[in-house]
A and B are shown apart, each in its own frame.
Chain A
Amino acid sequence: MKWLSFVWLPAALCGVTLFAQEWPTYNGDYSGRRFSPLTKINSTNVNSLTLAWVNRANPAAGQQGAQQGGGGNTSAVIKGTPLVVNGILYYTIPDHVWAVDARTGRDLWHYAWKSKGGWHIGNRGAAISGDALFFETPDCNLVSLNLKDGKERWHKEICDLEQFYYGSVAPVIVKNHVIVGVSGDDLDIPGYLESHDPVTGDLQWRWYSHPEPGTPEAATWPSVEAMLHGGGMTWVPGTFDPDLNLYYFGTGNPQPVIAGRGRLGSNLYTECIIALNPDTGKLAWYFQPSPHDTHDWDAVQTPVLFDGTIGGQSRKLLAQASRNGWFFVLDRTNGKNIVSSEYVKTNWAKGVDAKGQPIPNPAKQPQFDGALVSPNQGGGANWPPPSFDPDTGLFYVNASRAFSVYYLYDDDDKPEGWGGNDRGGYSESLLQAIDYQTGKVRWSHKWPGNGGGRSGLLSTAGKLLFAGDTSNNLVALDPATGTPLWHAGLHTGMTNGPITYELDGIQYLVVGAGDTLYAFAMMGR
């Protein structure tokens, strides 16, 4: 089996040599596998892992601006994945970036954006190219900082706060493109992805999450007006195959969110896995995990890239554990479906169509007197990143088996906004290991207790899988069996995806929990 090692950026732009010892992008590399080749920490010595340092985000130490409208106060919760380049670790919360010594956790600089507002629900992280760092702000700006001192280079407006957009996504650098997405689902606005010049910040291209009026795909909407206000936010960073020159990402829910009667049809390109040419923003292909979604099941989960064997043939694959509870494996050269299966039991689909896309059961769409649906709005999975381990051939996702009742509230002929919601629920939290060739769950580890938290995942060549459980623990498991091997109790549940890097022969493991970064290592002295 041949596995991709996507640690590639043009040196002319990066100015940074990327080693497996670092963590230079949101997913560590372009593939989205969150698999590290590092082995200093491994299954034979993980019980000797010790706390190396702690760093607590203190936004009050910086300049904090007014935050009117939208989501209110800055949430000092680390939901972004830190980056590690040249021994410096960079992390974010909404409006704030810190650079810290990756060996000691000591603050080097702190940048605070003076905010005008927007939802402060979370920030997924930053991107680095050469001597510059890029991040989004809740009030719709893409900001570039000098890597060495955190001074601002430039900022560009990337969305319209007046239309209730906001910024939360970690940018992704692909060649000379800073690729950014947008967030917001209070009003009926279109989602899009756009690319900026890393030097000037100028807009290079924009791709909307809807077809061009008049094209066959536009017929998946009842009107141009519905389509142009149809949502499809792009709020999780994507992945990139340099050989195919394709950038992959997911799009979010259509608008109105719950009340779908004004947008009958499959509502392309919302709820899609999308492949774009990163140089032009031109669509290469799409696959829609949730046609005509009415449950807020954004299909934004990381599209993970790897090469595998299907039917005895080596294939270039893409896999996603989608929020709707289904797992998909696609041929990433053309988007053709190979596997569609449930990774948690669901009750909303009548099967799959010829393209491998689930067929929604109309009876399980939100109803005025309620429809009992699984998964709930939180989904079988959500934004916390999954992991793929090439050594086991397993795709891991921190999942939920959950029920809630979906109600329609808006009986107008033309609902807008949400028009309904779900309520209540039962859920259990599971770490699922999925065989990509069959889509079957090879092993499942139910987290004990009733907590509902979930974290991102990391697998390593040290035969370890790191995850957050529902009881505030960072847990290392055997990736082949799901057996817990080691844990550390944190002060709250993990809130991001773990990373690992190696400096001076010491491998570090860093996780975010609430406002705190915890670094673990085999310090030895």
Chain B
Amino acid sequence: MRRLVAQALACGALSGQALFGQAGPYERQKVDPTAADRGKRVYTQYCINCHGALAKGTEQGPDLIRSPLVLRDRLGNEIGPALKKLANHKADLTQAQVVDLSHFLKDQVENTAKNRNAAKPPNVLTGSADAGRAYFNGAGKCSMCHSPTGDLAGIARKYDPINLQQRFLFPRGGRGAKPTEVTVTPKGGPPISGTLDRIDDFSVSLRDAAGAYHSWNRTADLKVDVRDPYQTHNELLDQYTDTDMHNIVTYLETLK
């Protein structure tokens, strides 16, 4: 239990509450963007110097996004009384300002809680196009299957940079990916080829060029030859350095 005490003591001011608040019926406060904008002005005027531009705290004041009191707050019901009680805080904010401030802080919390998603696409064009071209034509052996004036002509118009990066690394994941081909040869029978429908250790099925469905149990005398069109791409994942990856996408971005 002493860790509970240590933890509570380590969080000062607005965050200095017991870990377990008396939470009421649980519903996260829905952020009103207009009120949050007004609250940002309140925050900027009275709070920012100690708690920082993003409410993550400074040496003068604690992080408010990590504050149990702020997390527990609903429309200022915790923040308002705390402001009146704590030294060196703006005790005379109007109730409306407190509510606005609550919306601003809740907006910061919600933004933090979902920042596993990018606010804007990362810049992946940090390599050398020349080095990428050299890799394409040399060590990567990409030019054995692809051509900048053939299948890759205009590829940079089709995909933005991050999707271009993802696409060359993991081509199976994109729309329009080539299907896996398979040839099945029953004992004594002619081989039947087509697009792999499903395979496990016990059965295999395909659709042939005419669209007909074929299915077999994988008996000992059944030959199955699966051809993954992206096998070379898969093997390259063990060979690319991150520098190669950056160079290639920077080169591909030149193929407008």
Interface residues of A (CB under 8 A from B): 68-69, 116-118, 139, 157, 160-164, 186-190, 192, 203, 205-208, 212-213, 224-225, 228-229, 257-258, 345, 347, 363-364, 367-372, 374, 403, 405, 407-410, 412, 414, 416-421, 423-426, 447-450, 469-471, 473, 475, 484, 487
Contacts and interface: CB of A to CB of B under 8 A. Distances in A.
B201 A448 contact: yes
Contacts of A161: 23, 26
Contacts of B226: 448
A118 B28 CA distance: 10
Chain B interface, DSSP helix/strand/loop, else mixed: loop
B16 interface: no
B123 interface: yes
Given A117-B27, A405-B165, A409-B122, A416 B112 contact: yes
B200 to A, nearest CB: 4
Given A228-B11, A471-B200, 16 more contacts: A68-B26, A117-B28, A160-B20, A161-B23, A225-B57, A369-B125, A370-B122, A405-B169, A407-B122, A414-B56, A418-B115, A447-B201, A448-B200, A449-B198, A450-B172, A475-B201
Interface residues of B, number: 60
B109 interface: yes
B1 interface: yes
A258 B26 CA distance: 28
6 contacts: A162-B68, A164-B113, A187-B112, A421-B116, A425-B170, A471-B199
Contacts of A412: 54, 56
B240 A372 contact: yes
A469 B200 contact: yes
B184 interface: no
Contacts of B212: none
The 9 A-B pairs of least Cβ separation, nearest first, read A418-B116, A471-B200, A116-B26, A186-B113, A417-B112, A369-B126, A69-B28, A424-B166, A484-B201
Interface string B158-172: 000010011001101
A298 B170 CA distance: 25
Contacts of B198: 449, 471
B242 A363 contact: yes
B150 to A, nearest CB: 25
B7 A190 contact: yes
Contact of A447 (B7, B21, B173, B200): B200
B147 interface: no
Interface in B1-22: 1, 3-4, 6-7, 10-11, 19-21
B221 interface: no
Contacts of B202: 473, 484, 487
B240 to A, nearest CB: 6
Contacts of A408: 122
A426 B202 CA distance: 24
